[in-house]
Amino acid sequence: MAEVTDTKGPNGKLDFKEPPSEDFVNAVTTGGGCVRDCDYCGRTCFEDDESSYDWEPGELEGLRQRNKEDPNACASMDTVRTGVLAGIDFVTNCQCNGLRPYEDFIWGYRRTISDYIRKRTEGNLQDALSDDAMAEFLDENVAAIDAADQGKDFKKCKHCGGYFIESTMSEREYCQRCEQLVPKPPKMVDCPNCGATVQETELKGGARCYCVNCYDDDDIPF
């Protein structure tokens, strides 16, 4: 359970000691602005910057005065980032660290959540991108989580950001699902007659394959 501090927001909720991870903040954040209220703790958060926004006359001065009188209720910040989670409008980088218990819950129950998503996907194929591909994707992520818990290595897919076990695909850069989606570079081969290096798709022939130029050479028996 996330540890709380002795500091309370204007609505009486205690702040959390540890901030959420930057990854979780980025995942929840969908916007921002010059001034926003954090519905989790009740604080008003504003960016103390005259040049970045078109403030109403006296608006920024009023916020500065409120911050001076009660910095706990009106917080000055470098940036104000916002997002919605569980129906709550968060200032995602607010000093209350209100996202922390949600992240801890999701990560603490990651196996259950991953298993639920996999089963839900299997039961709702019409809503899935691809039932087989999605099942493989989730199975790999669950396996990677297990591997991490056992101290084993795993990789992050360069395409979707999911995870897969290192030991099963030492040369791979993509998970099984993305292996089927990401275009592969053409395979280059040498023509057995002239030695020219060409794409494999450019070769023609019967039992042996020759480049397009050599294929029309009357001296090559087929």
Consecutive sets of 10 residues in the chain, 222 residues long: mean pLDDT of each? 84 92 93 92 92 86 95 93 92 94 91 82 54 58 58 65 58 68 69 74 53 60 46
Q: Residue by residue, what is the 3-state secondary structure of 45-57?
A: EEECCCCCCCCCC
For residues 75 and 33, give the distance between their C-alpha atoms in angstroms, rounded to a whole number: 14
Q: Which residues contact 194 (CB under 8 A, 6 or more apart)?
A: 210, 211, 213, 214
Mind spelling out the 3-state secondary structure of 92-117? CCCCCCCCHHHHHHHHHCHHHHHHHH
Provide the residue count of the chain.
222
pTM over 0.85: no
What is the reported pLDDT for 128?
Answer: 45
Q: How far apart are the first and last CA of the chain?
A: 74
Rounded to 5°, angle at Cα 53 from 91 and 42: 25
Which pLDDT belongs to residue 150?
Answer: 58
